[in-house]
C-alpha cells in the first residue's frame, strides 16, 4: 500500500514536472516571439523616424546632405583653381597679423588668373566686376524662364582663399553647393567647409544683381535671427561709373552724415549735418581716418570751416549758424558715432553706386546713384537719388545738391543727428 502510494506520488510528481517544463518552454517561445516582434517594430520606427527627420531637414532647406560626387567635384575644382594663383599668394605681402588680409590690387591680380582660365569670377573688392559673367547671366535668365540648369561662380576672398558656389536650378527650386578653399600653413590649398542649401527666394534684377536669400535656422530653433541675404553683381559697371562711385559717393555712404540721404540744394543747406560729415570729408581729402584724439577740445574753427567749404558752396558764417559751434573755445563739436547717438539700420549699411552720369549745360554733372543693401532687405536700389557736383580743372569738386526720387525718402529711416544743441 505504501509502495503503491509512493508510486502514485512519483507519477504525479513526474506529470507536474512535465507540465511545468512544457509551460516554461511555451513561455520561452512566447517571450522570444515578443522580443523579435518588438525589435521589428523598433527598427521600423527608427527607419520611419530617420525618414521623417530627413524630410524635415529638406523642408528646412539648410544643412542638406551633399552628394558624394558633388562633394568630390567641389573640393577638387576649388583646389585646382587656387593652384592657378599660388605664385601670387606665395609672394604677396600678408602682413604680420594671424589673419591674412591682402590688398585690393593683389586680390584683383588673383582674379585675373582665373579670368584667363575662363572662370566666372568675382571678388570682395568694392565696385569690382565679375569676369566672364556671360555664362552666369545666361543661366539666370534661363532660370527665370523655368529652365533647369547649373552655373559655378568663384569668389576670391581678401585672405587669398576661394569661394566656389555651384547654383543648381531644378525648374522649381534653386540650390547652392558652397565650398570654401583656404591656404594651409605650408601654402597648400585645403577645404574648410562644403554645404548644400536651398534658396528661400531669389531674383535677377535688370541692373544685373543676383539677389537671393538662403534658408537658415529660424527661431525658436535659434535664439537670434540669422541673415541669409546675399547679393552678387553679375553685369559689370562701366569704368566711368566705377570711377565716379569711388571718387564722389563711396566715402560718404548713408550713415553718420546725410549728404546722400536727404533733399537739399545750394539754397537749402541748413538741414545738413556738418558736425557729422566732417570725418567723412576728412578721410576723402587726406585718405586716412580722422583721429579725434588730436582734438580733445573740439575741431578748431578754421580747420573745420575750410574743409567743409572745400566740398560745399557754403560760407563760414553759414557753417557757424548751421553746425554745433562752441563760441567760447572757437571749436566745432565732434562725437564718435555710437549706441547713444545712432540706432543702426539696414539702410545705413547700404553701398552707394553710380548708375548714370549726365553732363549739364551749366557745366555741372548729375550722378544718378542707387543704394545697394545686401542685408535682410536684399535690395539693389533701396533709394535712387540724383547728386549734382561741379568739377574744377584740377580734379577737385563740390557737392551742389541731392534729390531723392520717387518719394524714396518716405521709405528710409529718419536721419539721426549725432550732436544736438
Residue-wise pLDDT tens digits, 9-57: 444 444 444 444 444 444 443 444 444 555 555 566 666 577 787 788 8
Last residue of a domain, one of 236, 263, 282: 236
Tell me: do 190 and 313 sit in the same domain: no
Please say if the pLDDT value at position 197 is more than 60: yes
In a domain, 372, yes or no: yes
pTM (predicted TM-score): 0.85
Residue 144 grid cell: 527665370
Beta strands in 142-208 (DSSP E): 149-156, 162-169, 174-183, 189-204
Tell me: do 219 and 296 sit in the same domain: no
In a domain, 63, yes or no: no
**Helix, strand, or coil here: 42?**
helix
Tell me: do 385 and 248 sit in the same domain: yes
User: What does the pLDDT read at residue 222?
Assistant: 87
Last residue of a domain, one of 195, 215, 236: 236
User: What does the pLDDT read at residue 95?
Assistant: 80
Residue 261 grid cell: 540721404
In a domain, 291, yes or no: yes
User: What does the pLDDT read at residue 19?
Assistant: 42
Strands 365-372 and 351-359, sheet pairing: antiparallel
Tell me: do 218 and 92 sit in the same domain: yes
For residues 210 and 231, what is the distance between their CA atoms, to the nearest angstrom?
6
- In sequence order, the β-bridge partners of residue 404 are 385
**pLDDT, mean of residues 234-248:** 97
Tell me: do 226 and 295 sit in the same domain: no
- Helices vs. strands in the chain: H and E counts, helices first: 9, 15
Cα torsion 283, 285, 287, 292: sign: negative
Tell me: do 286 and 232 sit in the same domain: no
In a domain, 22, yes or no: no
Task: Tally the domains of the chain.
Answer: 2
User: What does the pLDDT read at residue 42?
Assistant: 59
For residues 163 and 175, what is the distance between their CA atoms, to the nearest angstrom?
16
In a domain, 31, yes or no: no
Please say if the pLDDT value at position 65 is more than 50: yes
User: What does the pLDDT read at residue 13?
Assistant: 45
Backbone φ and ψ of 138, nearest 5°: -65, -40
User: What does the pLDDT read at residue 412?
Assistant: 95
In a domain, 36, yes or no: no
Backbone φ and ψ of 7, nearest 5°: -65, -40
Binned at pLDDT 50, 70 and 90, residue 189 comes out as: very high
Tell me: do 360 and 282 sit in the same domain: yes
Backbone φ and ψ of 15, nearest 5°: -65, -40
Distance linking the first and last C-alpha atoms of the chain: 127
User: What does the pLDDT read at residue 366?
Assistant: 98
Tell me: do 316 and 353 sit in the same domain: yes
Tell me: do 315 and 331 sit in the same domain: yes
Tell me: do 250 and 312 sit in the same domain: yes
For residues 18 and 15, what is the distance between their CA atoms, to the nearest angstrom?
5
CA distances from 413 to 254, 334, 339, 375 (A): 11, 22, 16, 15
User: What does the pLDDT read at residue 3?
Assistant: 34
Q: List the domain range (segments joined by +) for residue 141.
A: 68-236
User: What does the pLDDT read at residue 49?
Assistant: 75
The percentage of residues in the chain with a pLDDT greater than 90, rounded to a whole number, is: 77
DSSP 200-258: EEEEE-TTSEEEEEE----TTSSSSPPP-EEEEE-SPPPHHHHHHIIIIITTT-SSS--
For residues 86 and 45, what is the distance between their CA atoms, to the nearest angstrom?
52
Q: Are 371 and 347 in contact (CB under 8 A)?
A: yes
- In sequence order, the β-bridge partners of residue 195 are 178
Tell me: do 105 and 201 sit in the same domain: yes
Residue 376 grid cell: 535682410
By the 10 Å C-beta count (0-12 exposed, 13-18 middle, 19+ buried), 332 is classed as buried
In a domain, 6, yes or no: no
In a domain, 20, yes or no: no
**pLDDT, mean of residues 375-393:** 94
Tell me: do 335 and 214 sit in the same domain: no
Q: How do residues 98-112 score in pLDDT, each as one tens digit?
A: 788 999 999 999 999
- In sequence order, the β-bridge partners of residue 209 are 233
Last residue of a domain, one of 236, 271, 306: 236
Amino acid at each position: 500500500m505504501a509502495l503503491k502510494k509512493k508510486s502514485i506520488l512519483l507519477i504525479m510528481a513526474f506529470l507536474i514536472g512535465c507540465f511545468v517544463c512544457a509551460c516554461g518552454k511555451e513561455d520561452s517561445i512566447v517571450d522570444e516571439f515578443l522580443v523579435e516582434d518588438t525589435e521589428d517594430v523598433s527598427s521600423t520606427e527608427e527607419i520611419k523616424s530617420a525618414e521623417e527627420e530627413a524630410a524635415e531637414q529638406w523642408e528646412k532647406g539648410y544643412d542638406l546632405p551633399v552628394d558624394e560626387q558633388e562633394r568630390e567635384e567641389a573640393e577638387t575644382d576649388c583646389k585646382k583653381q587656387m593652384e592657378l594663383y599660388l605664385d601670387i599668394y606665395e609672394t604677396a605681402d600678408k602682413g604680420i597679423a594671424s589673419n591674412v588680409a591682402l590688398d585690393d590690387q593683389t586680390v584683383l591680380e588673383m582674379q585675373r588668373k582665373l579670368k584667363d582660365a575662363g572662370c566666372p569670377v568675382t571678388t570682395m573688392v568694392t565696385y569690382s566686376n565679375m569676369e566672364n559673367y556671360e555664362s552666369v547671366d545666361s543661366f539666370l535668365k534661363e532660370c527665370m524662364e523655368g529652365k533647369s540648369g547649373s552655373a559655378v561662380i568663384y569668389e576670391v576672398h581678401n585672405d587669398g582663399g576661394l569661394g566656389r558656389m555651384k547654383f543648381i536650378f531644378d525648374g522649381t527650386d534653386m540650390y547652392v553647393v558652397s565650398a570654401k578653399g583656404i591656404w594651409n600653413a605650408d601654402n597648400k590649398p585645403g577645404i574648410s567647409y562644403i554645404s548644400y542649401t536651398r534658396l528661400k527666394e531669389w531674383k535677377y534684377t535688370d541692373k544685373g544683381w543676383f539677389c537671393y536669400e538662403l534658408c537658415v535656422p529660424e527661431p525658436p530653433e535659434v535664439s537670434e535671427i540669422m541673415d541669409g541675404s546675399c547679393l552678387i553683381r553679375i553685369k559689370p559697371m562701366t569704368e566711368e561709373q566705377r570711377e565716379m562711385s569711388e571718387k564722389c559717393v563711396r566715402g560718404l555712404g548713408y550713415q553718420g552724415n546725410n549728404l546722400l540721404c536727404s533733399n537739399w540744394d545750394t539754397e537749402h543747406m541748413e538741414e545738413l549735418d556738418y558736425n557729422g560729415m566732417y570725418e567723412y570729408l576728412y578721410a576723402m581729402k587726406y585718405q586716412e581716418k580722422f583721429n579725434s584724439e588730436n582734438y580733445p577740445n573740439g575741431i578748431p574753427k578754421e580747420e573745420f570751416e575750410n574743409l567743409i567749404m572745400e566740398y560745399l558752396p557754403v560760407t563760414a558764417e553759414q557753417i557757424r549758424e548751421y553746425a554745433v559751434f562752441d563760441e567760447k573755445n572757437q571749436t566745432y563739436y565732434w562725437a564718435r558715432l555710437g549706441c547713444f547717438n545712432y540706432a543702426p539700420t539696414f539702410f545705413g549699411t547700404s553701398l552707394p553706386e553710380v548708375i548714370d552720369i549726365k553732363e549739364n549745360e551749366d557745366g555741372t554733372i548729375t550722378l544718378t546713384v542707387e543704394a545697394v543693401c545686401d542685408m535682410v532687405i536684399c535690395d539693389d536700389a533701396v533709394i535712387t537719388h540724383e547728386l549734382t557736383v561741379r568739377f574744377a580743372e584740377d580734379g577737385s569738386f563740390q557737392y551742389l545738391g541731392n534729390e531723392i526720387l520717387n518719394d524714396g525718402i518716405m521709405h528710409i529711416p529718419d536721419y539721426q543727428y549725432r550732436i544736438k544743441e
